[in-house]
Structure 1
Amino acid sequence: MTTPRTRALGPLSATTLVIGSIVGTGVFTMPAVLAGAGTSSLLVLAVVSAGALLLGVLFGQLTKRVPHSDGGVYAYARHEFGDFAGYLTAWCYWITAWAGNAAIVSSWVLYVESLFGIENPGAWTNFGIALVGLWIPAAVNLVGVKQTAWLQNVTVVLKFIPLLIVGIVGWFFVETANFGPFNATGGSLYDGISIAAGVALFSFIGVECAAIAAGRVKDPQRNVGRASVLGTAASALLYLVVTAAVMGLVSHGALVDNGAPFVNAFEAIFGDAAWVGKLVAATAVISGLGALNGWTLVTAEMPWAAAKDDLFPPQFAKENHDGAPWFGIVVSTALASALMGFAYSGNTGLTVFTYLVSLSVVTVAIPYFFSACAQLAYLVSRRRRVTGWALARDLAIVVASGLFSLWVTAAAGYAAVYQTMIALLLGVPIYAYLKTRREQLHAVPAPADTGDEPLVPIVPVPDTPAAITDHTHGATR
């Protein structure tokens, strides 16, 4: 029997969990990727920010009406569409979580190397640094959720200080000549939008973190929605102001494909001093640890919630004496480590980051779409309690959220969708095993097959005058 979970995350901690999960090292790498698309990427970032805010509102609405919302997007899909939809949602989001951790740490590695002056590192050096970045947050999470919340609050405060310096002070040093062309891809505008949309959505993955960890949030029906919206709004404002400032502080040529663009941005403000690069790199390292700390919790929360319902292997429901889902933390971190090893075997730098981002974006868009459809099913049913203007408002939120999820999936590109489809299909045999196990335990009824039903005996029909054939005329009379 599972013991009740400690609801250690209050409104502030839940909000900082969202902010800390959204604003990681991605904000320190994003300007370089967006610069490759051109200044049109700022408009794309604004659109994605609006979409993320709508998703935050949607998750708050779903948490209020779904009785058992542990696991967030998983719980919503299962509540409305049944076990299989819930399982697919949990499977996709779990992939997003540990693949996203790999993407975060790939950006984090670049700033660790800048902090310690590591030049021209090899693949093994990159991989070793990445392992440190993955397993330190795992160790913190294994200690317990209270320590996780404490570290989350501290890292959010520390990383916001230098980001605000760039976002406020930096604007006094912006030069309009540094901004690149509206479309810098050399191709169609759609190509630029696709590049910007992928990294922009990846930067907002985390809007659902308070919903995922609803079982650890105090008064989740009230605080999950507030934390999701407030955390996302603060992150969106920060992203837009800081990214635009960096584009104006660093020339377009120097910004594109720059692994540590904030170092150049601080040098534009304070001059080319040794302490500038160290300060920025240290900030990015702290920011990345905070993001990885929050995401390590989320990677274990999703499979824990599904395992509790026998929709993930039962080992994922195991907790240590501090209430931490230790099995999920260890397995998820091990998978992220393996993915980092694979990524670094063929590429380095921003190439690794971009590859991992594309995989994470599509796998998270699927749970977002399921959540929108779950709310849509409720609103068009006779179970709903909203009418009039409230119904029109909620329908608009649902439709916009669903279309946003579809657009992001399409913008991610064929390769990302192809890889995600393979990953999704790999989860189906696992579900088949889990379903068989539940049937054997009589947790769910087995489907009735034709071969399992008793044969109905065929009773011969006696001859009647009406069924006697007149062979002379070839007719029946």
Structure 2
Amino acid sequence: MAEPSKKIGIWTSTSLVVGSMIGAGVFLVPSAMASYGSVSLLGWVFSAIGAFFLARVFSRLSALVPKSTGGPYAYTHHGFGDFAGFIVAWGYYISVITANAAITISFVSAMSTFFPALATNAAAAILTGLSAIWFLAWINTRGVPASGRVQLVTTILKLLPLLVISIGGLFFIRAENFHPFNSSGGSVYDAINATATITMFSFVGIECATIPADSVENPGKIIGRATMLGLLICTIVYILGSVSIMGIIPAAQLKYSVTPYADAAAIMFGNNARYWASAGMAIAAFGALNGWTLIQGKLPYAIAKDKLFPPVFGRQNKKGAPYVGIIVSSTFVSVFMMMNYTKGLVEQFRFLLLLSTLTTLVPYLFCAAAFVIIRLKIKQSKGLPAAIIVGALAFAYSIWAVAGSGQNTVYWGFLLLMAGIPFYVWATYKKNSELKDVSEV
């Protein structure tokens, strides 16, 4: 366990939330929503409201169950026991390493603006991706404080271009670009539902401050504050950024743009601004990869400490870093990343991304329910009705998010979760055998 003097505080914890939520994918959302019209802004509002209730759940859980390393896994385990905790952890772990491979690919893509060979030379792209993965793996083996410093710096650097475009762009908007209000061809309700489904993934990562709880100063207070502050910062950036870009670039042009933030920057400051917008995208991906690398080490560590994962994942180095989990996870990330650049394996990699979508959302479902269960166990009536309402609304939003991910995603994601059962049976057998040996002694 990390020494108290080496634990992270409010700003580093907040940067972990913001840095993990704002990845390279967020830079493409305005283009994805352009065909719906300005009604898509309401999709952001709907997602932000749902994310608020989830943030409240994680904030309250961090106070009710402080020092519970593992975030969604720890809370689900506390509320529902070994099996539910393992299933959530299994799916979440696979989704994290798959997402890290996708983030690495986004980083390489952003860097191709400065090094065009990365867009055409698979070997160069793979080498760049592997360098990013293993450099950040090394940083994270230096301990949470070292990773936290990188996260804080990259979060500040990624926010700067986003804020410049989000706030500065308000002075360049043209009112006619917001018309028509709804160009989706369907009802306003359907348009909001569709755009909210697109935007909800931009709030994934809201739980990240809860996962390294054993490395946070006064986790009962700091984690909750960092989670709510991180949500506020991201919501402001997301909504203002969409307003500015939709107001600057006509919808007919925006929906075909593959670099909407860079295009907006070029209109605002000239063509050379594309480079620093692309730099912002690269830093966003790099920072997100750093944050999720920390998570991919801490999560298997927490499961191993509860004897539901191979004990080797519970090992720490002298810096308090779960180095085995970081190394094994980074190896998987490397393999998945290389699949994208290997002819014949690209579709398999995309299929892995599809599978990981559901396993990212299911933990929210369990945590919302676990919050109500844990709160009821306290047997304290003060604030109980409000807690039940918050938990119910977070649960309802999570159900909607799972349904909105699509039938294929739910089907294959469910099979992926079920694939973890043999591992759970093995872990339970080993755990019970150890307990039996101890009792016999």
Q: Does 1:153 align with 2:146?
A: no
Deviation per CA, 1:412-457, whole angstroms, max 9, x where unpaired? 11121122112211111111111111122126999xxxxxxxxxxx
The one-letter code of the counterpart of 1:369 is: L
Deviation per CA, 1:191-250, whole angstroms, max 9, x where unpaired? 755653444222111111111111110000111111101111111111110122112222
What secondary structure sits across from 1:115 in the alignment?
A: coil
The one-letter code of the counterpart of 1:269 is: M
What secondary structure sits across from 1:442 in the alignment?
A: helix
Partners of 2:397 and 2:125 in 1: CA distance: 35
Q: Does 1:30 align with 2:29?
A: yes
The one-letter code of the counterpart of 1:416 is: T
- Work out whether residues 88 and 427 of structure 1, in 8 Å CA contact, stay in contact via their aligned partners in 2: yes
Partners of 1:55 and 1:147 in 2: CA distance: 28
Displacement after TM superposition at 1:173 (Å): 1.1
- Work out whether residues 174 and 249 of structure 1, in 8 Å CA contact, stay in contact via their aligned partners in 2: yes
Q: CA 1:393/1:407 → structure 2, altered by over 3 Å: closer, same or farther? A: same
Give runs of aligned pairs for residues 221-240 of structure 1, distance below 5 A: 221-240=220-239
Per mean C-alpha deviation after superposition, the further-off stretch among 434-443 and 74-83 is 434-443
Displacement after TM superposition at 1:134 (Å): 2.6
- Work out whether residues 340 and 349 of structure 2, in 8 Å CA contact, stay in contact via their aligned partners in 1: no
- Work out whether residues 299 and 332 of structure 1, in 8 Å CA contact, stay in contact via their aligned partners in 2: yes
- Work out whether residues 34 and 255 of structure 2, in 8 Å CA contact, stay in contact via their aligned partners in 1: yes
Partners of 2:254 and 2:344 in 1: CA distance: 20
The one-letter code of the counterpart of 1:412 is: S
- Work out whether residues 32 and 258 of structure 1, in 8 Å CA contact, stay in contact via their aligned partners in 2: yes
Q: Does 1:412 align with 2:405?
A: yes
Q: Does 1:376 align with 2:372?
A: yes
Q: Does 1:333 align with 2:330?
A: yes
Displacement after TM superposition at 1:30 (Å): 2.1
Corresponding residue of 2:316 = 319
Which of 309, 312, 317 in structure 1 is aligned with 2:306?
Answer: 309
Displacement after TM superposition at 1:162 (Å): 1.3
TM-score (norm 2): 0.90
Displacement after TM superposition at 1:37 (Å): 4.5
Displacement after TM superposition at 1:156 (Å): 1.4
Q: CA 1:288/1:67 → structure 2, altered by over 3 Å: closer, same or farther? A: closer
- Work out whether residues 107 and 353 of structure 1, in 8 Å CA contact, stay in contact via their aligned partners in 2: no
Corresponding residue of 1:115 = 114
Which of 357, 380, 384 in structure 2 is aligned with 1:385?
Answer: 380
Structure with the higher fraction of residues in helix conformation: 2
- Work out whether residues 37 and 180 of structure 2, in 8 Å CA contact, stay in contact via their aligned partners in 1: yes
Per mean C-alpha deviation after superposition, the further-off stretch among 253-262 and 394-403 is 253-262
The one-letter code of the counterpart of 1:258 is: S
Corresponding residue of 1:439 = 432
- Work out whether residues 59 and 227 of structure 2, in 8 Å CA contact, stay in contact via their aligned partners in 1: yes
What secondary structure sits across from 1:385 in the alignment?
A: coil
Q: Does 1:140 align with 2:139?
A: yes
What secondary structure sits across from 2:435 in the alignment?
A: coil
Corresponding residue of 1:209 = 208
What secondary structure sits across from 1:39 in the alignment?
A: coil
Partners of 1:40 and 1:347 in 2: CA distance: 40
Partners of 1:377 and 1:444 in 2: CA distance: 33
Q: CA 1:194/1:354 → structure 2, altered by over 3 Å: closer, same or farther? A: farther
Deviation per CA, 1:260-297, whole angstroms, max 9, x where unpaired? 2221110110122xx31211111221222111111110
Q: Does 1:247 align with 2:246?
A: yes
Corresponding residue of 2:195 = 196
What secondary structure sits across from 1:441 in the alignment?
A: helix
Displacement after TM superposition at 1:392 (Å): 2.1
What secondary structure sits across from 2:279 in the alignment?
A: helix
Q: Does 1:280 align with 2:277?
A: yes
- Work out whether residues 118 and 125 of structure 2, in 8 Å CA contact, stay in contact via their aligned partners in 1: no
Per mean C-alpha deviation after superposition, the further-off stretch among 357-366 and 139-148 is 357-366
Q: Which structure 1 segments of 5+ residues have no match?
A: 447-477
Q: CA 1:262/1:117 → structure 2, altered by over 3 Å: closer, same or farther? A: farther
Q: CA 1:307/1:11 → structure 2, altered by over 3 Å: closer, same or farther? A: same
- Work out whether residues 194 and 412 of structure 1, in 8 Å CA contact, stay in contact via their aligned partners in 2: no
What secondary structure sits across from 1:312 in the alignment?
A: coil
The one-letter code of the counterpart of 2:239 is: L
Q: CA 1:365/1:338 → structure 2, altered by over 3 Å: closer, same or farther? A: same
What secondary structure sits across from 1:114 in the alignment?
A: coil
- Work out whether residues 67 and 220 of structure 2, in 8 Å CA contact, stay in contact via their aligned partners in 1: no
Per mean C-alpha deviation after superposition, the further-off stretch among 397-406 and 16-25 is 16-25
Q: CA 1:183/1:192 → structure 2, altered by over 3 Å: closer, same or farther? A: same
TM-score (norm 1): 0.84
Partners of 1:192 and 1:221 in 2: CA distance: 39
Partners of 2:345 and 2:141 in 1: CA distance: 30
- Work out whether residues 99 and 359 of structure 1, in 8 Å CA contact, stay in contact via their aligned partners in 2: no
Q: Which runs of 4+ in 1 moved over 6 A?
A: 2-6, 187-191, 346-349, 351-357, 443-446
Q: Which structure 2 segments of 5+ residues have no match?
A: none
Partners of 2:24 and 2:152 in 1: CA distance: 16
Q: CA 1:67/1:14 → structure 2, altered by over 3 Å: closer, same or farther? A: closer
Q: CA 1:40/1:129 → structure 2, altered by over 3 Å: closer, same or farther? A: farther
Partners of 1:44 and 1:354 in 2: CA distance: 26
The one-letter code of the counterpart of 1:366 is: V
